[in-house]
């Protein structure tokens, strides 16, 4: 997989900068999860595959079938995701402050 560091993206497209400029309601679930994850998976050395935080967020959301699935996931299942350790699992598990807001805004 070919990946590009988020810091190499145009400033207006970066999740963190968009959050500050547009607010959380304008970001996708993947954007917000990428901000929480902070870093992706693997490396960015030439010829070595890796994923940036946004691509990692997309994969996690796809694997768990969105925020609803991520909210229902067991800690054990999250810890089995490559690149997610205890700190990232604790930060990325939707709770009332994040998941509840996003789930309500999506009409769940």
pLDDT digit string, tens, across residues 84-95? 889 888 876 655
* Residue 102 predicted with pLDDT over 50: yes
* Residue 104 predicted with pLDDT over 90: no
Q: Which of 2-6, 62-66, 77-81, 102-106 has the lowest mean pLDDT?
A: 102-106
Structure tokens at 98: 């994040």
Per residue in 28-68, pLDDT (tens digit) is: 999 999 998 888 887 666 666 788 999 999 999 999 999 88
> How does DSSP assign 42-71, residue by residue?
E--STTS-EE-HHHHHHHHHHHTTHHHHHH
In angstroms, the CA 66 to CA 74 distance is 14
Per residue in 5-29, pLDDT (tens digit) is: 899 999 999 999 999 999 988 999 9
């Amino acid at each position: 997989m070919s990946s590009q560091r988020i810091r190499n993206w145009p400033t207006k497209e970066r999740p963190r900068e968009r959050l500050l400029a547009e607010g959380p309601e304008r970001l996708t679930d993947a954007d917000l999860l990428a901000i929480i994850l902070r870093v992706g998976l693997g490396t960015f050395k030439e010829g070595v595959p890796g994923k940036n935080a946004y691509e990692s967020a997309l994969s996690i959301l796809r694997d768990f079938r969105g925020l609803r699935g991520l909210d229902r996931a067991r800690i054990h299942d999250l810890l089995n995701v490559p690149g997610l350790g205890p700190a990232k699992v604790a930060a990325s598990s939707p709770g009332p402050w994040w998941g509840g807001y996003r789930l309500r805004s999506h009409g769940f």
